[in-house]
Every structure is written in C-alpha cells, then in structure tokens.
Amino acid sequence: MTTDIAPVLADAHGRTTPTAPDRRSGFRRVLRPGAGRQHHAGPVAYVLLGFAALVSLFPLYWTMVAASTDNTRVSQTPPPFLPGPNLFKNLATAWQDAALGKAMLNSLIVAGVIALSTVFFATLAGFAFAKLRFKGRNILLLLVIGTMLVPPQLGVVPLFMMMADLGWGQSLPSVIFPTLVSAVGVFFMRQYLTEALPDELIEAGRLDGAHSLRIFWSIVLPIARPPMAVLFMITFVHAWNDFFWPFIALDMTNPTVPVALTQLSAGYVRDQSVIMAGALLGTLPLLAMFLVFGRQIVGGIMQGAVKG
Amino acid sequence: MATSIDPRQSRRTILHRLDLGAVPYAFIAPFFLIFGAFGLYPLLYTFWISLHRVELSSLDTMEWRGLANFTELFEDDRFWNALSNTFTIGVLSTVPQLLMALGLAHLLNYRLRGSVFFRVAVLTPYATSVAAAALVFTMLFERDFGMINWVLGFFGVDNLDWESQKWPAQFAISTIVIWRWTGYNALLYLAAMQAIPRDLYEAAAIDGASRWQQFRTVTVPGISATIVFTIVLSTIGATQLFGEPLIFGQGPNGISGGADNQYQTLGLLLYEEGWKNYQMGRASAIAWAMFLILILVFVLQRVLARVLSRTPRPAKAPRRARPSRTS
Amino acid sequence: MGTARKRFGSTFVSATALAVSLVLVAGCGSGDDGGKARTKDGKTVISLGLFGVMGYKETDLLDRYMKENPDVTIETDVAGDEQTYYTALQTHLAAGSGLKDIQGIEIGRAKELVDTQADKFADLGKTPGTDHFLPWKSSQVTTGDGKVIGLGTDIGPMAVCYRKDLFEQAGLPTDRAEVAKLWEGDWAKYVDVGRTFKQGTKNPKVAYMDTSTGLFNAMIYGEDKQFYDEDGKLIYQDNPVVKDAWKLASDAATSGLTAKLRQFQPGWDPGLANGTFATAVCPAWMLAHISEKAGPANKGKWDVAKAPKGANWGGSFLGVMEDSPVKKQAEKLVAWLTAPEQQAYIFEKLGNFPSSKTALDMPAVANGTSPYFSDAPIGQIFGAAAKEIPAKQVLGRKDGTIKDTFSLGLQLIEAQGKSPDAAWKTTDERIQKLTR
C-alpha cells in the first residue's frame, strides 16, 4: 500500500492546509507527546487504548509463540498461548531453508540504498523547490505531485523486460533503481525547508560568494538533518516491506525478506512453526528499529501529517 | 537577486549567474531522470505492450493486436469480478480502518500517561511486512486449527472455512490491511487534531456543546482535509492490493484468488495473466485499466474535496495564517 | 530536547556511514553472474535448481558425489512449490539470466519446454551410460528432431495410502491385500468403499479421503490421453477419460467423503498428522511427504495398498542448460544422479520410484519395503502399478496449468458447494481463456 503519500497529497492542495508549525518548535512539539491541549484521559480511554495496543501487539507475540512450538502443537486446538522450547531451533531452520540470512542482507542493502538516495535527492530537489528561483518551478512541482499518481507497479511488465535487457534480472539493482527517488520525499523536504530555512541565511551565504552547492552543503544540510533522518527511517521501512515488484523481479535464490517469506510458505515440506519463525525473523530488524526510534518515527509521521 | 556586482569580479559573476540559472535544474534533475526512466517510460511502454500479444517465453516477439486485449478484457467476467472484489475488499478494509483510526486518534489526543507507549504500540503493525502479517493472519484464520475459529467455537460457530467462502475470505484479507494501517492513520489524524486551535473547543464549550458535539462540530471538520486524504490514500492502496490475498490463498489458490476467484483482486489478475499464463500483453492491458481507475479516483477526490471545503464550517475555520505558498 | 536531537543526529550520521559501507560491500559482492565458470575454494561450482522433494538435497547423494569428485562443489536451490519454481524458470529463460547449470523439469511442463525452449537446453541424448531409462520416459523430453533435453529422475506410479486404525474403526479390513481387493479394477469401487467407511466410522469428523483431486488425477493419468491429442489439439472437453474422472471425483466430493483439504497446502499437513482422513491416493513420491508430516507418532498406522488401476502422476527430469559454463561437468553430474544405483538409493530412502528400467530390476527396488508404512512392499506395489502405466502418454503444452485448473474446479464443488455442472462450466471457460 502506498499510504506514505499522506503527508504530501495533503499539502498538494494547499487550500485546505490547516496549519503550519512555527519554524523552530515544529519537530519538538510532536516529538513531545501529549503536547496538545486536551482533557485528561479517563479509565475508559485507558481500557480502550490498552485493547488497541493488545490487538496491535498480539499477532506479533503469537508469531513468537508459534515459532517456538513444533508442527504438531501449532496445529492443535486450543492453540498455544505460551512459548514452547523450539524457538531457536526453528529460527535456525528458517534461517537456512529460506536463505533468510541472505535475504536480510539483501533487504538491508536495498532499503539502505533506497533510503539514502531518496533522502539525498529529495533534499536536493526539495531545497531547489523551496528556496531557489527558476523558471517553471511551480509547474515542475505540480509534476512531482502528479508522479505520485503513477505507482511503479503499473509498469511492471516493461520494467521486467527492461531489467532482463539490462542484465539485471533477479538482481538487486532491479529493485533498487525504480525506487531511488520519491515524490513524497521531495515534497516532504520542500515543506520543511520552506519554513525551517531562513532566506536570510542563504542571502548571507551568497554575499560571502558561496555557490549553490556550497550553500546546500554547509547551510541546508545541517538544518535539514532532522527531517532527513525521519525521511530515511520511513523510506527504509517502506523499502524493507515493499512486496509487489520485488516479488516479480527477484527469485528465491536472491530474495529480499518479504520475497523469502513467501517462498518459505509455498513449500512442500515446511513446518508451520518454521514459517512463523521466518516471519518473526524477517520482522525483527524493523521491530528493533521501532524499539529504539519509535518515538522519532511516530514524530516523523505526525510531522508530515501536521502539514496536511 | 540582490547581490552587489563588482566589475573586478565579472568572471565570478558569470559563474554566479550560471549558478543561479542552471543549478536549480541540476538539483531537481535526478528526480525527473529516474522517475522518467523507471516510472513514466514503463507506464507508456505498458500501453504499447498492451496492444500486442507478447509471451513471457519470447519477450522480443510482439504480435500486433490493436485494442483486442482491451475488448477481451472488458468482455471477461474475471475482470469485472476482480474489479468488484477490489472494490468490496477496498471498502471492507478502508471504512472500518479509518473509523477506528479516528476513534483511536481521539483517545490518543487525551492527556495520557504512557502516551509514547500507546503511540508506538499502535504503529507497530506498520513495521510488519505484508508477507509476515499475511502469514500470521493466514494461520490465525486457518479452518481446522486457527485461533479465530477456536474462539468462534465458543459462540457456536463451527469451523468457518474462511478461505473458501467469499465474504469470510474478503473479511479476513481486509483484517490484515486494517491491522497494518489503522495505527498509522490514527497518527495522521492525531497530528491534525493537535493542530486544531484550542479556543475553538473553548468557544464550543461555552455554547454548551457536549464532548460528543465538540468532536462532531470541531474535531471532525478540523481534520476533514486529512480525512479526505487518507480516504484517497487507502483507495490507491486498495486498488493495488496484491500481497495479502496472494499469501492468504496459499499456493495456486493465492494467484487465482480462491477456487472461485472469490478474492481475486486486479493486482492478482494482472499477475495471473502475466506470470502464470505468461501473457504479457493481457497483463499490460490490466495495468492500464488500473491506471485509469486511479485517475478516476483522483478526479473523484478533487470533486469530493471541493464539495467538502464548501460545506459551512464553524465560525473560525481551523486555519492559521501562513505564508502563501501555493504550488 | 536539544540533547536528544543531537544524539539523534549523530546516530543518523553513523547510520548513514554504515549504509554507505554496505553499498560498497554490495558493489564488490555482485557481478558474478557472467558466463564464466564460477569457482569456490578452487573448485568448480555446479548449481542445481530443484523443486519439491526430488531426493538430492534430502539424501547424502550430493555429498557423496563431491567426495568422489573433489574438484566439484554443488550448490542447490529447492523451491517448495512447483508453480513458483516454473514461473521463475520461465522468467529466467526469458531474461537469459539467473539460470542454474542444471534445472529440474516437471512432467506437466515437459511438453512446453520441448516445444518452446529446447534450444536453451543441452542435448543429453548422447551422454554416455544413459540408455537405461524406461523408453516412454525419455520420449517425453525428446524433440521432433531427436534432441533429448532431460534425463528422468522418477516416475509417479500410484497406489492408495490408508490408515489401518481408521479402517479398523469403520469395520473395514486392514490387510493391504484385502483392502486392494475391495476396489480392484475400478476406481468407482474405491468411492463405494468410502460410503461404507462413512457409515461405519465412529468419528464423524474423520473423512474418507483428503480431497477429490487426488482421485481425479489418478483416473486421468491411467490413460494415454488427457487434455491434448497427438497433434496438440485440446480434447479435454470430449475426452471420456476426463469426463468419467470428473464425474466420479465430483461424486465423491458431493457425498461428503472428502476432508476438503488442498494437497501440499498448510491445512493438509495437520490432517496427515491428526488423522482427519483415512486415505490418500498417493503417487510414490508422496510417501516421503506423508511420513515426514504425519510424523513418528503415526509410524505403522499408515499402509499402502494397490490402486484400482495403474496410473502415473508426476515424475521429473533434470536438464542441463546449453549456455552453462560447466556444461560438461553438469552433464556428467546429471548422468550420475539419474543412474540406476542412485535412483534405487533414493527409492530406498524416500520412496521416489525409479524411471530407470535397470533400477526397477534391482533387488533394492523390487524387494523394497517401507518401514514407516507398516513394512509395505512398496517395490512390488508400485512396480506392478508402473507396469500398467500406458506406454505412451500424450503430453500437451499447458498440461500443468490445466491440471491445476481442474483442481480448482473440483474445489468449487468440494468446498464451495457448487453443482458439478456449474463447476465444469467455470473450469472449461478458464481453460479456454488460458490456452487462448
């Protein structure tokens, strides 16, 4: 799904934009939870929220439970609710059988490169759209927004042929290149820089004789760091979880994690507990990321949204 | 630009001019180049392919068919079935998802202890890939030993065959989508809610509005823009639904969307034509049909947004002055 | 918040550095797909692409070969699902990349590859020491001008696997000879036994058979023509073989004799383990799966009885890619893997039935028994079934896909309660569309 368009589409129709956070406190405000006005939550709210959290987390917990049992136990009723003894055994099997080690490395490379390049090009273009004056700027910006209507999936057939022609069939470049840039990212960075980067700073830089690249490097980049980090993480999550095109472009000998997981499930001799172990393993890196950066990711998503 | 021009530095000035004139284009060029090569060009080429008969085993032989792929597609029950499934699964997954997200955002908007925990917790499913989520839910919905059927057993529902029956299957697939995206949308709403000025609530309270009335008259209109956008986004996502039903069907049934195509979406039909029947021309025709549908959705959204923005709002619309930067 | 932001920023920088270094590593690591022979630790690498349980990864055969040929390293990739495997193979053939040196070929795809991709495969017809196959097996992968694109691994003679304990409960005989007698000569009798079973069984939750598709496959593959005639024309609509099989299978499906499971899909395995059905029509290569999934707890509860009629479901080949940089070594490996001794060895270990005529006469095969299946003399049972297989089966281009479509059609009856006529109509339309 391409819900990552949210922050941008919202702003694409500037008319309905409700608010702009003030220049300096924007990020901090959303990073600090509960910053809004509002009533204190009553017990009912806590119960409901607790339920929502439970529903959100339980399937993941149960993945772990299923991954730690064996095939017989997992297919009995009542289903298991407590972890069994086979977690590490199943993880090891999944790791070997589904080439998950390779898949994780591949996903790390794919998501890492895509996120890096998206952030870099988005900052570059976002800066140009936000602060540089050039002919056709508005039309080009509209074009950027328009591209969001063209999900790369719709081009799978020729993409597939192109990759074959380029000799990239079943290799990582075939999934990296089509997603090296993102319109969402460009828009996101443009919105941030429009507000967070004072024109005076650029003027001052120009007076010092700095050329645009230099201004970009020594003025824009330092200021843009927080949204770049946010964009990096969100792009990383999306690239890691991307499915349709990698599923078509890659195969089981050189998969990303989601592709490897489908292979794991489509087997003759797979155990359900091993499949669950694979699902768990493939999700762990992102869960770890959420554990460490959860607050920043939440802030990032909300920061994007505030602009809508 | 207001830079002083010193005659001694005329060479620098030329460079400077060049800098100002060309560099912006250089900065945005990478985006357009890559998008052109891997987004626009394939899309147009898809249309070209859709006018031909092309088999996967011989990609370089293209046999001209004109619009035959399209006419066949529009006469094919499977296409309309897939379109209708895409629509119903889209509705089944989007409507509850957004309603629940709205409620969740409202709860999260209270002053809370542990609010970071709750926010991260409801966002966690978003970290799970389609593949992993679909695998887990497929297990939970399993006919003979799945946990959901076990629970339903206490209510006298015996061994519901989720995969075989149309509505249960579509419901189960929607559940996967809802689970993954509700928290994400809730955060979008929450952010929009927090941007609503407090005095609007105070004014409403003075007018004697109950909390529910405040929610209806202040909160919902205040975030209506965001609501419209999440609807569009979910719709775009729903149009392309692929991984969830594919994995939910397990093996050959996944590609055909069940024995009766009861949950085959357009994405699956595209894949079936292209990578199971090896007919790339027909697959391309489906891709273009999907593209046209997306455009339609976009147009509808514009209309919807216009209608919504014309509906009367509370005295002070939740808009703050901002530097004009219409795009 | 200032410190938090700073820390966050520096984390980001180090993450960036990490990612960049990964890119560099990736850059160095890729690009080994060229046309040159790959070596690893000074050994030539031969790669195999397989599917299902072909027995090479599951036994120690490959290790043995590497021990006997110290200059060779073998890498195997096994796809669980043949559909997935074949789609990948098709895309690799189309892209001309990603192909292994050796690729497995399932019989349902043999004709399509022979017709459309023969030039991509090496001719194995003159490989030394490969004149031991059943003649019909080799003819299935021979092109019009005599090129042989694969060597046979196994064939799929069929029997009926059944649970003795469940038969006993239902008041049926349990001895495999007596059981075979119940349905001797006619698949309809096999269904009749199912009705008796249904009346006699104590546990209404136990079905007679897993699914009607097994029965359908067994019936059509007992004859020489299924979906196509010799000229490649589709005849399934009027072929009495297909019609009769459809009728009986849908009959079984509507009589509540099946557990409504899908073979080789996740729900099927627990059914094997928990004994929710009493019989499964089983080609020889299915024994390995049943014993694995039913598990040690059920050892000795299963048995194998001769099927009403001989039939052949499935069976595979190994082909060598013409462009493989290690073509000669790969041919040698394929010849070795499909040699009578190795085929007999896999039969002993897993039950996959040899396609080598020589292997069939070896004592290990002819007198082979299966300890898991109550010491059933599977060599005799499947050997007898193999003799009844029609000597020339007519293959067609879309055999595999058509068979899958019929499976879906039977599911319509079995799991969704459609009438057999409506299901036939749907199936017919689907086949017309996919062969268009």
Is C241 domain-assigned?
yes
B299 near A CB under 8 A:
no
| Bridge partners (DSSP) listed for residue C312 | C157
- Work out the end-to-end distance of chain A between its first and last CA atoms, rounded to an integer number of angstroms: 19
Q: Which two tokens stand for residue B43?
A: 């899309």
Task: Write out pLDDT tens, residues B74-89.
Answer: 999 999 999 999 999 9
* Domains of chain C: total: 2
Which chain C positions have a beta carbon within 8 Å of B260's beta carbon? 412, 416, 418, 426
Given this model, what pLDDT does residue C36 score?
67
Q: Give the C-alpha separation, A86 to A92, whole Å.
A: 10
Given this model, what pLDDT does residue B198 score?
85
Task: Write out pLDDT tens, residues A83-99.
Answer: 989 999 999 988 887 77
C371 near A CB under 8 A:
no
C98 near A CB under 8 A:
yes
Which chain C positions have a beta carbon within 8 Å of B58's beta carbon? 94, 116
Q: Give the C-alpha separation, B229 to B317, whole Å.
A: 18
Cβ pair A225:C95 closer than 8 A: no
Q: For chain C, which residues score pLDDT lower than 50? A: 1-34
B190 near A CB under 8 A:
yes
Task: Write out pLDDT tens, residues A2-59.
Answer: 334 334 333 333 333 333 333 334 444 443 333 344 678 889 999 999 999 999 999 9
Same domain, C86 and C44: yes
Same domain, C28 and C100: yes
Residue A69 carries which DSSP code? S
Which chain B positions have a beta carbon within 8 Å of C91's beta carbon? 56, 275
* Number of neighbouring beta carbons within 10 Å of residue C186: 12
* Number of neighbouring beta carbons within 10 Å of residue B72: 15
Cβ pair C266:B57 closer than 8 A: no
Task: Write out pLDDT tens, residues B189-219.
Answer: 999 998 888 888 888 888 888 888 888 889 9
Q: Are the CB atoms for B212 and B185 separated by under 8 Å? A: no
Q: Are the CB atoms for A164 and B51 separated by under 8 Å? A: no
Cβ pair A151:B240 closer than 8 A: yes
Same domain, C275 and C405: yes
CB-defined contacts A:B, below 8 A: 402
Spatial CB neighbours of A174, under 8 Å, sequence gap ≥ 6? A159, A163, A166, A168, A249, A250
**Checking DSSP bridges between strand C277-283 and strand C207-209, what pairing results, if any?**
parallel
Chain C neighbours, 3+ Cβ pairs < 8 A: A, B
Task: Write out pLDDT tens, residues A188-218.
Answer: 899 889 988 999 999 998 888 888 888 999 9
| Segments making up each domain of chain A, as ranges | 45-306
Burial of A21 (0-12, 13-18, 19+ CB in 10 A): buried
Q: Give the C-alpha separation, C112 to B283, whole Å.
A: 21
Q: If you average pLDDT over residues B298-315, what whole number do you get?
A: 71
Same domain, C144 and C190: no
Residue C370 carries which DSSP code? B
Given this model, what pLDDT does residue A8 score?
38
Same domain, C223 and C347: no
Cβ pair B252:C407 closer than 8 A: yes
Given this model, what pLDDT does residue A196 score?
87
C295 near A CB under 8 A:
yes
**Closest CB to A266 among C49, C80, C297:** C80
**Closest CB to B259 among C94, C271, C415:** C415
**Closest CB to A128 among B12, B24, B131:** B24
Q: Give the C-alpha separation, B155 to B152, whole Å.
A: 5
Q: Domain holding C299: CATH number?
A: 3.40.190.10
- The fold adopted by the segment(s) A45-306 is MetI-like fold (1.10.3720)
A2 near C CB under 8 A:
no
Given this model, what pLDDT does residue C160 score?
97
Q: Are the CB atoms for A222 and A127 separated by under 8 Å? A: no
Is C385 domain-assigned?
yes
Q: Give the C-alpha separation, B81 to C169, whole Å.
A: 46
Closest C-alpha among C212, C246, C268 to residue C415: C212
Same domain, C297 and C390: yes
Task: Write out pLDDT tens, residues C223-281.
Answer: 999 999 999 999 999 999 999 999 999 999 999 999 999 888 778 888 898 899 999 99
Mutation target to probe the A interface, by most A beta carbons within 10 A, among B136, B189, B250 is B136
pLDDT greater than 80 at residue B1: no
Least confident window among A123-137, A251-265, C132-146, C279-293:
A251-265
Cβ pair B181:A3 closer than 8 A: yes
Domain hosting C53: range is 15-156+314-366
Task: Write out pLDDT tens, residues B276-301.
Answer: 898 999 999 999 999 998 888 888 87
Same domain, C119 and C162: no
Give SS3 for C258.
strand
Q: Give the C-alpha separation, B73 to B67, whole Å.
A: 10
Given this model, what pLDDT does residue A24 score?
38
Which chain C positions have a beta carbon within 8 Å of A232's beta carbon? 12, 15-16
Query: For all residues of chain B together, what is the average pLDDT?
Result: 87
Q: Which two tokens stand for residue C381?
A: 């049972």
Is C374 domain-assigned?
no
**Checking DSSP bridges between strand C302-306 and strand C277-283, what pairing results, if any?**
unpaired
Mutation target to probe the B interface, by most B beta carbons within 10 A, among C85, C86, C87, C99 is C87
pLDDT greater than 90 at residue B16: no
Task: Write out pLDDT tens, residues B217-275.
Answer: 899 998 988 888 788 788 888 888 999 999 998 877 889 999 999 999 999 999 999 98
Given this model, what pLDDT does residue C35 score?
53
Given this model, what pLDDT does residue A191 score?
87
**Residue in chain B lying closest to C408 (CA):** B259
Phi then psi for residue B235, to 5 deg, are -65, -45
Same domain, C184 and C112: no
Same domain, C298 and C239: yes
Q: Is the dihedral of CA A114, A116, A117, A119 positive or negative?
A: positive
pLDDT range class, residue B98, cuts 50, 70, 90: very high
Cβ pair B121:A52 closer than 8 A: yes
Which chain C positions have a beta carbon within 8 Å of A28's beta carbon? 1, 5
Q: Give the C-alpha separation, A258 to A72, whole Å.
A: 26
Same domain, C100 and C121: yes
Which chain B positions have a beta carbon within 8 Å of C265's beta carbon? 250-251, 253
Q: Give the C-alpha separation, C138 to C90, whole Å.
A: 22
Residue C297 carries which DSSP code? G
pLDDT greater than 90 at residue A149: no
Q: Give the C-alpha separation, C187 to C249, whole Å.
A: 10
Residue A179 carries which DSSP code? G
Cβ pair B31:A181 closer than 8 A: yes
Is C391 domain-assigned?
yes
Is C2 domain-assigned?
no
- Measured in angstroms, the CA of A90 and the nearest CA of chain B are apart by 16
Same domain, C44 and C125: yes
Given this model, what pLDDT does residue A269 score?
54
Least confident window among A292-306, B118-132, C280-294:
A292-306
Give SS3 for C77.
strand
Task: Write out pLDDT tens, residues C44-60.
Answer: 999 999 998 899 988 99
Is C7 domain-assigned?
no
Q: Where are the alpha helices (DSSP H) in C171-295?
A: 176-182, 187-200, 212-220, 240-254, 268-274, 286-294
Same domain, C298 and C346: no
